[in-house]
């Protein structure tokens, strides 16, 4: 373990799916943590550069999770500006949460690499937790998930595995300059994933493939912020085109074990009753 772990780890997106889990793990190891969020102390806001310096003050390392998503246009330039400021402030250890098959995410990766930081990149597949902690939970509770995605296989990755990898790369030597592409152990279509959730929850939950026009109409009805509407459209129309239909060994390389299977996620989550209506 490096001496930088005695200084707080600044976790950007520290209340999100991976950041919250990482904070719990580091705190359990008695490693000081600073939550980088609008409600944090001091507050951090990606859209307000004036909050960046105070959040970085005295930190030793940074976990970078971009809000609302690193796929959003302009994210790469914002991440670049933050990474350069961190390095200027003497904070060289940066871990970036990235996304597979996303043009903007890959641009952000290159900018972090070029910042002069001691970088590690966690390039992740679609989170399993999007079905329980994201926008799809509403559809699950209603009994039908309708998306513009056909029989494309996605290697859903568990947020617990991402947090475990993040914890490892932040607290153990040997991970600087590594790109870990994190996937689950098998490919599932969205229809198959929804079927596994229905089975685990003991409910009849249907999957229906809809057109892009129907999806856009449904999003408009939910009055989503423009960046979220754009993001969902990008993810479902561009990224889920088969480009990510491969498994990778990132979890095995970082942790020395197999990633958690989607069925284990579904069983554990169903036990929490979050999918029971």
Taking Cα atoms as reference points, which of 129, 206, 166 lies closest to residue 33? 166
Instruction: Summarize pLDDT for 27-58 with one digit per residue, the tens.
Output: 999 999 999 999 999 999 999 999 999 999 99
Please tell me the predicted confidence (pLDDT) of residue 6: 85
Average pLDDT over residues 179-194: 98
Domain boundaries, the chain: 3-127+158-183+245-259
Domain 3-127+158-183+245-259 has CATH 3.40.50.720: yes
Please tell me the predicted confidence (pLDDT) of residue 121: 98
How many other CB atoms are there within 10 angstroms of residue 140's CB atom?
21
Please tell me the predicted confidence (pLDDT) of residue 238: 85
Instruction: Summarize pLDDT for 203-237 with one digit per residue, the tens.
Output: 999 999 999 889 888 888 888 788 888 888 888 88
- What b/e readout covers 84-97, taking b as 16+ CB neighbours within 10 angstroms? bebbeeebbbbbbb
Instruction: Summarize pLDDT for 6-28 with one digit per residue, the tens.
Output: 899 999 999 999 999 999 999 99
Please tell me the predicted confidence (pLDDT) of residue 1: 43
Please tell me the predicted confidence (pLDDT) of residue 4: 45
Please check the confidence at residue 2 and state whether its pLDDT lies above 50.
Answer: no
How many other CB atoms are there within 10 angstroms of residue 19's CB atom?
26
Percent of the chain exceeding pLDDT 70 equals 98
Confidence band of 198 (pLDDT split at 50, 70, 90): very high
């Amino acid at each position: 373990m490096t001496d930088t772990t005695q200084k707080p780890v600044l976790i950007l997106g520290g209340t999100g799916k991976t950041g919250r889990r990482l904070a719990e793990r580091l705190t359990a190891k008695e490693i000081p943590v600073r939550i980088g969020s609008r409600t944090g102390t001091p507050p951090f806001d990606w859209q307000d550069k004036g909050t960046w310096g105070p959040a970085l003050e005295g930190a030793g390392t940074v976990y970078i999770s971009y809000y609302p998503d690193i796929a959003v246009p302009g994210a790469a330039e914002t991440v670049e500006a933050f990474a350069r400021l961190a390095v200027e402030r003497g904070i060289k250890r940066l871990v970036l949460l990235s996304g597979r098959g996303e043009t903007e995410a890959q641009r952000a990766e290159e900018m972090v690499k070029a910042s002069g930081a001691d970088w590690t990149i966690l390039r992740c597949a679609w989170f399993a937790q999007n079905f329980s902690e994201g926008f799809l939970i509403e559809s699950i509770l209603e009994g039908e998930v309708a998306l513009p995605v056909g029989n494309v296989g996605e290697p859903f990755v568990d947020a617990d595995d991402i947090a475990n990898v993040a914890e490892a790369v932040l607290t153990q030597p040997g991970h600087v300059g590594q790109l870990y592409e994190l996937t689950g152990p098998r490919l599932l279509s969205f229809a198959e994933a929804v079927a596994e959730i229905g089975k685990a929850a003991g409910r009849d939950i249907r999957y229906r493939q809809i057109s892009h026009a129907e999806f856009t109409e449904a999003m408009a009805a939910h009055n989503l912020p423009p960046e979220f509407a754009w993001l969902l459209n990008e993810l479902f129309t561009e990224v889920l085109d088969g480009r990510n239909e491969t498994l990778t060994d990132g979890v095995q390389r970082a942790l020395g074990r197999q990633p958690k299977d989607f069925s284990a996620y579904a069983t554990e989550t169903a036990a929490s009753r979050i999918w029971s209506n």
